[in-house]
């Protein structure tokens, strides 16, 4: 099936997509990146995008005694996080690269749940000295285990070329077209997968 055909399916079934800001670090650069992604996403008519900031969902280190794959949650913070994630058809993970991987807080938030991620779509936006590409590689493996269909297109922002003085986010215009492709792929797959859940 062509991507354009999948996009037609997505239009018939409006999709909700969460942009998950995967850093809670003081002075984080991810908020500016996530807000840029949200602004680009809001220009699109075929999906509803919402920003989820992990600062607003303070999850302790995984403290559920039973594996998330069982779907038995005992803590209120887990139940609230479950309800938040269950409401979406797809996700854009915005991640820094820390020590050649994603952030601990994002990995922790992902690990809390299982079924809430299944048969949905995911895309990745990263930032770091090398654009955060290694963080995305780790997230791809994690998402595969969670039955999250991740799209090919990704956005990688370099601290050297997309941030002024390594601080203020000023992305190169070349990222605009890449973002459009990312959203096209994500919305198509989110819409298609919604039909099988």
Q: Kindly report, residue by residue over 10-58, the tens digit of the pLDDT.
A: 445 589 999 999 999 999 999 999 999 999 999 999 899 999 999 999 9
CATH 3.40.50.360 fits 3-8+15-194, yes or no: yes
Q: Are 19 and 158 in contact (CB under 8 A)?
A: no
Which residues, 6+ apart, have CB-to-CB distance to 15 below 8 Å?
Answer: 46, 47, 48, 89, 90, 187, 190, 191, 194
The pLDDT of residue 1 is above 60:
no
What percentage of the chain carries pLDDT values higher than 90? 91
**Where are the domains positioned within the chain?**
3-8+15-194
Count, residues in the chain:
197
* pLDDT (tens digit per residue) in 125-160: 999 999 999 999 999 999 999 999 999 999 999 999
Q: What is the pLDDT of residue 134?
A: 97
Look at residue 14 in the predicted model and tell me its pLDDT. Answer: 86
């Amino acid at each position: 099936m062509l991507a354009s055909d999948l996009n037609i399916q997505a239009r018939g079934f409006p999709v909700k997509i969460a942009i998950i800001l995967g850093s809670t670090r003081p002075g984080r650069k991810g908020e500016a990146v996530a807000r840029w992604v949200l602004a680009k996403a809001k220009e699109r008519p075929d999906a509803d995008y919402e920003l989820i900031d992990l600062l607003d969902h303070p999850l302790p280190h995984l403290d559920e005694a039973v594996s998330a794959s069982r779907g038995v949650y005992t803590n209120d913070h887990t139940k609230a996080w479950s309800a938040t994630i269950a409401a979406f058809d797809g996700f854009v993970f915005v991640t820094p690269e820390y020590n050649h991987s994603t952030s601990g807080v994002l990995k922790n938030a992902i690990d809390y749940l299982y079924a809430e991620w299944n048969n949905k779509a995911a895309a990745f936006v990263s930032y770091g000295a090398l654009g955060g590409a290694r963080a995305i590689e780790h997230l791809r493996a994690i998402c595969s285990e969670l039955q999250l269909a991740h799209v090919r297109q990704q956005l990688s922002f370099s601290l050297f070329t997309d941030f002024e003085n390594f601080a203020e986010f000023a992305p190169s215009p070349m990222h605009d077209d890449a973002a459009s492709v990312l959203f096209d792929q994500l919305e198509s797959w989110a819409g298609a997968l919604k039909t099988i859940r």
